[in-house]
Amino acid sequence: MGRLEGRVALVTGAASGIGRATSKLFAAEGARLVVFDRAAEVEETAAEIKAAGGEATAVLGDAGLEADIEKAVALAVSTYGALDICYANAGISGGYVPLLELTADHWTELLRINLIGPCMAIKHAAKVMIPRGKGSIICTASVAGLRSGAGPVPYSASKAGVINMVQTTAQLLTGTGVRVNAICPGLIETGMTKPIFVTARERGTEHKIGQINPLRRGGVPEEIAGAALFLASDDSSYVDGQAIVVDGGLSSSHPVAGMRR
């Protein structure tokens, strides 16, 4: 039996990257999936899961709209009878905008998707998990939420908010059996970071990607999916309110130029 055999999972941002890799891994471990995204490619994610013998239902929606999240949770329950795992993975980078050119509208849209959306996912997932006395809720944060230097100001602030929100909601759900945790990815090759990798390859500097990590490389979505599987499964039954960093060791130190063995 798989580690998620008989369980039902909702994954947002499932059209590509970390969301797609995690959805496929969850399905391979026995979960039945509701895969959610505003991009039509989420249908491809569901199709790949079905082709591999799994069960998945694709839903188009905006992860920053409470009504869309509520409907996705309700669909999981009505289609598969329960919701055991909710992975609020959807997010945007917002692009780089100089500090002195940032607008309130830019902040509002980014926080709507990156912070308010995951909060609504926690709210509605917890509502259906609490009566059953169990459940795992996971959010995608970022190493950018730990300290400066890994992302633009609004993005970094939104991910810092996710980390604090996970800690706070885990405490608010004390005694319910519902766990809330976050994953803080480092530099992972996804649609969001694609320009970094494409530019490096065009310049012939791909070998420099991740050069300040102890592992000296960037990561791939499947490596974040592995962490999500741990948090979704009973292997993490005593893990709650945590932000687990998966970044090749980047955040273990402040980068210092010229260090040698």
Give the neighbor-by-neighbor strand order of the sheet with 178-185. 55-60, 32-37, 8-12, 85-88, 135-140, 178-185, 243-246
The verdict on whether 155 is a catalytic residue reads yes
Q: Using H for helix, E for strand and C for coil, what is the string for 11-60?
A: EECCCCHHHHHHHHHHHHCCCEEEEEECCCCHHHHHHHHHHCCCEEEEEE
CB-based contact 241:167 (threshold 8 Å): yes
- Cα angle 63, 236, 90 (rounded to 5 degrees) comes to 15
Catalytic pick from 80, 87, 96, 155? Answer: 155
Rg (CA), the chain: 18
Q: Do the Cβ atoms of 112 and 64 come closer than 8 Å?
A: yes
Quick one: how far is CA 143 from the chain centroid? 12
What angle (nearest 5°) sits at the alpha carbon of residue 242, between those of residues 236 and 244?
A: 80
Residues known to be catalytic:
155
